[in-house]
Amino acid sequence: MLLIVSPAKTLDFDYPVPELSVTRPAFAKDAAALIDGLRTLPVEAIRKLMSISPELAALNHARYQDWRPRAPARTTRAALLAFRGDVYLGMRAETFSAEEFAFAQRHLRILSGLYGLLRPLDAIQPYRLEMGTRLANARGRNLYEFWGPRIADALQAQARAAGARELVNLASQEYFRAVAQERLALAVITPVFKESRGGTLKIVSFNAKRARGAMARRHAEDREFQRQARARRDGRLRDSPPPAARRGFEGLRRGRLSLRAGVVLRPGMAVRAMSTLPFSEACERNKDPILEKLRVHFAGATRVLEIGSGTGQHALHFAAALPQLVWQASEVPGQDEAVRARLAAHPLPNVLAPLALDVRGAWPAGPFDAIFSANTLHIMGWDGVRALFSGVGQCLAPGGVLAIYGPFNYGGRYTSDSNAAFDDWLRRRDPASSIRDHEAVDALARAAGLEPVADHAMPANNRLLVWVRAP
């Protein structure tokens, strides 16, 4: 069995990943030809072609200029670990064992507008080029014409080498359209992941994408399936699947199987329910670096207020690691469902039920020894930022610590191109939100009786700012 997935718009070349021996993409020369064409486009033409912001257009213009047919290792990353969209977050490939990476390298493929077809360990450089982009090229009017039958022919050859007779399509329609199915001598299986909502089965995009990734992960983890795949590849297993498995295949082949937020493990196996708890990859990525700093700054604290607990991931992680703290979660009134659900599913004795807290309204009775907030200042309007520091000044104990995590500007300048692009997205979503200037935020803190004690660099161009209230 060969599985295919789409790439992701989101890339991350900075988060820590296992050291792996990478491979060269099969269509590296074709990718170089596309890059040669993209290099000639000015920023404005890229913006119009891809319908993206000027900042993202400038970022990708620079990427095209920097792209090299044989790039140094420091500028590349294995494809499976470079993409960070919902499918890849559901897959969690950074936790694969060596055996699982090896299996994925044989049985998992990633479709790509630039690279055509990627193996998980193929080294790629940062890029943006969706398959549906109408990029005129030497082979046609768009990328579908550029790739033609090449992707399907490569899939067929690689399936034969892996001993696979089925192609499980976990890709989007935009990307699977690039596969010329008439050239495949494979049974194409396309699962559809649905949830029961009000008695009706519906596709919930976020959960469906995570389920695709989880399905791919399950195949990489399934040792019995791997044993059979090796035997079939080596010619030691030629018999047809058992009746139950055969029925499972047929159900997938005949139509589109509806699954309730679950994962097809393989034909004949049961469906495993996925967690329905809201999940933030940003929290998952930054929780340990933040914890490292909180261990120091909250060492003398016992009672902590968290402003904007979101999914509850930070609250649980920090409270479990720092059991001496009583962690008071909070969230905007009417938006506490996610944190309540997570705390109910994973109760800890030192995490209190979330308070309804609008920073512009009444604050809980203090004093608190420490106050923590992550990724809130750029979401709320400036009036909310002012209200937050005013409230902190009221309920933070003398000698208490305030720690705020998020992106900040310094001297009126962005600290990275990605922050500039993020700020553009924030302002288009809500004109009142934006990345805040460090100097303006520090002035509010000082006015509330706080003195700065630390400014830590954190993952993804974020900072952890720490102040202490005078004793």
DSSP conformation letters of 360-392? TSPPPP--EEEEEEES-TTTS-HHHHHHHHHHH
Do 300 and 195 fall into the same domain?
no
DSSP conformation letters of 93-142? GGG--HHHHHHHHHHEEEEETTTEEE-TTBEE------TT----BTTBSS
Partners of 188 in the beta sheet?
167
pLDDT digits (tens, 9 = 90+) for 422-448: 898 888 888 999 999 999 999 999 999
Residue 74, domain extent:
2-273
Do 212 and 95 fall into the same domain?
yes
Contact 2, 159 (CB under 8 A): yes
Cα–Cα distance, 116 to 175 (Å, whole number)? 10
Do 244 and 345 fall into the same domain?
no
Do 352 and 301 fall into the same domain?
yes
Do 20 and 57 fall into the same domain?
yes
Contact 177, 144 (CB under 8 A): yes
Structure-token pair, residue 379: 């979401």
Do 295 and 346 fall into the same domain?
yes
Do 121 and 207 fall into the same domain?
yes
Number of independent structural domains in the chain: 2
Final residue belonging to a domain, choices 273, 298, 321: 273
Residues 365, 371, 372, 375: is their CA dihedral positive or negative? positive
CATH number, domain of 390, equals 3.40.50.150
Nearest to 1 by CA among 193, 189, 180, 252: 189
Do 138 and 84 fall into the same domain?
yes
Do 290 and 311 fall into the same domain?
yes
Query: Which 8-state DSSP code applies to residue 331?
Result: E
Do 289 and 268 fall into the same domain?
no
Do 112 and 206 fall into the same domain?
yes
Q: Give the model's pLDDT for residue 145.
A: 95
pTM: 0.54
The CB density around residue 305, as the number of other CB atoms within 10 Å, is 29
pLDDT digits (tens, 9 = 90+) for 400-414: 999 999 999 999 999
Structure-token pair, residue 276: 């329905």
Final residue belonging to a domain, choices 208, 238, 273: 273
Final residue belonging to a domain, choices 273, 302, 335: 273
Do 152 and 82 fall into the same domain?
yes
Residue 274: pLDDT above 50?
no
What Å distances lie between residue 223 and 99, 100, 136, 228, CA to CA?
10, 9, 45, 9
> Tell me, what amino acid is at 102?
A
pLDDT digits (tens, 9 = 90+) for 160-183: 988 888 899 999 999 999 999 888
pLDDT digits (tens, 9 = 90+) for 48-106: 999 999 999 999 999 999 999 989 988 999 999 999 999 998 898 988 888 889 989 99
